[in-house]
Each structure stands twice: as structure tokens, then as C-alpha cells.
Amino acid sequence: MKVHVDMALCASHGRCVFAAPDVFSFDDEELTYEPSPGADRRAEVEQAVLSCPVRAITLDGDHG
């Protein structure tokens, strides 16, 4: 599983951090994330994708 955040779209709402705190976090004022989280985080990451109001997060496949 691969996660990508389009930082040009990200508006730092932080909903992804609440949905998947082990994958997304804020470092100072910038979003950071784990680009290849384990399969055990899939449900959290999917929730983060759905919760992003600007659709900046994409999820790619099951290989990971």
C-alpha cells in the first residue's frame, strides 16, 4: 500500500491526523506521513482519504 499527499492541495485541516495518527502527523506546521504504511493500517488510511476535505490524499494498491 502506498500513500501520497499532494502538498500543493493540502490545507492542513488535520482530519487525516485524527483518522490515522500512526500514519499522519504535523511536524511544526507541516504535514508529514508514512508513504508505505503496513497493511494493518489500511482501514485508518482509507478513513483519512475519505475525511480529507480537499482530496489531497491518494491510496495506491495493496503492494506494500
Tally the domains of the chain.
Answer: 1
Query: Does 32 map to a domain?
Result: yes
HSE of 29, CA atoms in CB hemisphere, 13 A: 1
Supply the mean pLDDT for the chain.
Answer: 93
Residue 31 CB coordination number (10 Å): 19
> Taking 90 as the threshold, does the pLDDT of residue 61 lie above it?
no
Pairing of strands 2-5, 57-60: antiparallel
pLDDT digit string (tens) for 30-47? 999 999 999 999 999 999
Question: What range does the domain containing 11 cover?
Answer: 2-56
- On whether residue 62 sits in a domain, the answer given is no
CA 51 and chain centroid, separation: 10
Tell me the whole-structure pTM to 2 decimals. 0.88
Tell me if 10 is assigned to some domain.
yes
